[in-house]
Amino acid sequence: MSSSEKLRLDETNDNVSINILNNKCLVKIFSFLTIEDMLQIKKVCKKWRDASQVLNISQENIKKDPSRSDDADKIHKHFEGFPEQSELNKVLCDCGDSLTSLTLSNYCYDSKIMFVISQHCHNLTKLELDLYKYNENDFHEAFTKLNKLKSITISYSNYVDHDDYGHDTLILQSLPQTIQEISLSSAAYDLDFLVPLSNNFTKTLDKFNALCTLELRYWSLETSVLNMILKKSTLTHLTLAESELIIDESLTSNLDNLEYLDLSYAKNIDKVLTSIVMSSMKLKHIDISQCTDVSKQALCHLGKLDNLKKIFINYIEQVDDSIISQFNNLNILECEGCTSVSDSSIIKILNNSDKLEFLNVQRTGVTHATLGCASQIVQSRNGDEKLHVLVSENIVDEFEAIDDIPLSLVINELL
C-alpha cells in the first residue's frame, strides 16, 4: 500500500461514525451485547431505539444459545422481583411478547398495568394479578388482542374502595370466548363486609363455552347470581369460598361435569351444597371446612357421591360418626376439630379406603386405637405407599407401639 493510500484510509477512519450504519448492521452488532445492555439500547438515541425493536429479547430465544445462559437468568429475574410499575412497563414493552405466563403478586401494581399488558403481551395463556388499586375502565377492551389467554386470576387488596367496583363486567366482556379459568377475589377480607356480585357479571359468563374453572372469593352472592353459575354445565371446578350465599328461593343445578367444589368458610351453604351434590355425581373433591352453619341434613347428602375421593370437613360441629361412616374409598379425609368423631368411624374409613393417603383427625374424639389400626393397615398394603396421619400429640404419647410403626405410616408430618 502506498503512503498516499494509507494516508487517505487513516483520514477516512477518523471520520467514521456508527451512525452511518443501517439498521441491519446495528442489529448485528447489538446481538453481541449482554441482555442488560440490550435493554439500555433504546435510551441512546432514536435510531438505536428503532433498531432495537428488531431484536428478539426473550428468555426462550436466548436459552437456545448455551453461551447466553446468564442472560436468560437475568431476564427471569426481571419478572421474579418487584420493580416499580414504571420499570415493569418498560420491561414488558421489551419482552412481553415472549411471555406465555405472567404473575404480578404482592399487590405492588394498580390496574393501569393492563394497558401495557394488552399492547405487548399477546402470547399470554395465563395471567395472575394482585392489584392494590382498581379502576374498571382500565379493563375496557383490555383482552381483545390476548386471544391465547386460557386462565385469568385477579384479586384486589383491602385498600381498594368497595365503591370503585364496577362488578368487573368490563373484565369479562373482552376476554376470549375460549377462556378456561376465571378467578376473581374482592377486597373484602371480612365476611361481614362482602361486596355484592351483580347479575350483569354472571350473565356475561354465558359466552364462555370452554369455561371449566370458576373461582369467586369474598363476594355476596344472591339467588339470581347463583342460579346462573349453577347452570354453567361446562364447569369441572367451582370455588365460592369465603362468600355469603343469600338464597330466597329454590336453586337448580346443571353442573353435571363438576369434579371439584370448594365452599370453605362460606355462609349459608345448605341449599347450594344440596343442589350441587344431587346433580353432580362426578364430584371427587369437596371442601366445606369451617362452614359452621351447615345442617346435618345437608351433610347426609354427601354419602351419595360414589366418586368422592377427597373430603375436607374441618371444624364443623355437626359432623359425627354417622356422617363419616358414609364415605368409602377415600384418598384424603380431613375432619380436624370435629369433636363428635370417634375411633369407630375412622377405623371404618381405614378399613374401606385402601388408597387413603392423608388423614387429619386432630382435636377429634379418636384415641390411640386409630393409630394401632392405621399401623396394621399399612403393613397389609402391597407396595410402599405412605399414609400420613395427623393426630393430637396426647394420642401419640399414649400409643405404646409408636417405636414399632412401619416406615409407610407417617405421623404428624404434613405432606
Please provide the DSSP assignment of 104-119 as one string: EEEEEEETTHHHHHHH
Q: Cα separation of 334 and 312, whole Å?
A: 5
For the sheet with 195-196, list strands across it: 195-196, 219-222, 244-246
Q: What is the mean pLDDT of residues 317-333?
A: 97
Q: Is the pLDDT of residue 9 over 60?
A: no
Place of cell 377480607: 189
Q: Cα separation of 411 and 261, whole Å?
A: 28
Q: Tell which residue, 81, 198, 90, 176, has the closest CA to residue 127.
A: 176
pLDDT of residue 158: 60
Backbone angles phi, psi at 149, to 5 degrees: -65, 125
Query: Within 10 Å of residue 45's Cβ, how many Cβ atoms?
Result: 11
End-to-end CA distance of the chain: 79
**Residues 6+ positions from 270 with CB-CB distance below 8 Å:** 293, 294, 295, 297, 298
Q: Using an 8 Å Cβ cutoff, are 369 and 347 in contact?
A: yes
Positive or negative: CA dihedral 382, 387, 391, 395 = positive
Q: What is the mean pLDDT of residues 397-410?
A: 85
6 — pLDDT class (breaks 50, 70, 90): very low
Q: Is the pLDDT of residue 252 over 70?
A: yes
Backbone angles phi, psi at 262, to 5 degrees: -125, 110
Query: Within 10 Å of residue 167's Cβ, how many Cβ atoms?
Result: 20
Backbone angles phi, psi at 114, to 5 degrees: -65, -30
Q: Is 315 exposed, middle or buried (0-12, 13-18, 19+ CB in 10 A)?
A: middle
Q: Cα separation of 301 and 287, whole Å?
A: 14
Q: Bigger pLDDT: 367 or 191?
A: 367
Question: Domains of the chain: which residue ranges?
Answer: 1-55, 326-339+346-415
Q: What are the residues facing 334 on neighbouring strands? A: 312, 360
Q: Which helix (H) or strand (E) holds 129?
A: strand 126-133
Positive or negative: CA dihedral 216, 219, 225, 226 = positive
Helices and strands (H and E) in the chain: how many: 17, 16
Tens of pLDDT along 263-279? 999 999 999 999 999 99
Q: Cα separation of 247 and 222, whole Å?
A: 6
pLDDT of residue 23: 65
Cα 256 → chain centroid: 23
Average pLDDT score over the chain = 83
3-state DSSP call for residue 345? Answer: helix
Q: What percent of the chain has pLDDT over 70?
A: 77
Tell me the Cα Rg of the chain: 29
pLDDT of residue 147: 95
Tens of pLDDT along 20-58? 667 667 667 766 666 566 666 766 776 666 666 655 544
The model's pTM? 0.81
Q: Bigger pLDDT: 43 or 398?
A: 398
Q: What is the mean pLDDT of residues 237-258?
A: 94
The CATH class, in words, for 1-55 is mainly alpha
Q: Cα separation of 412 and 397, whole Å?
A: 12
Q: Is the pLDDT of residue 360 over 50?
A: yes
Pairing of strands 101-110, 126-133: parallel
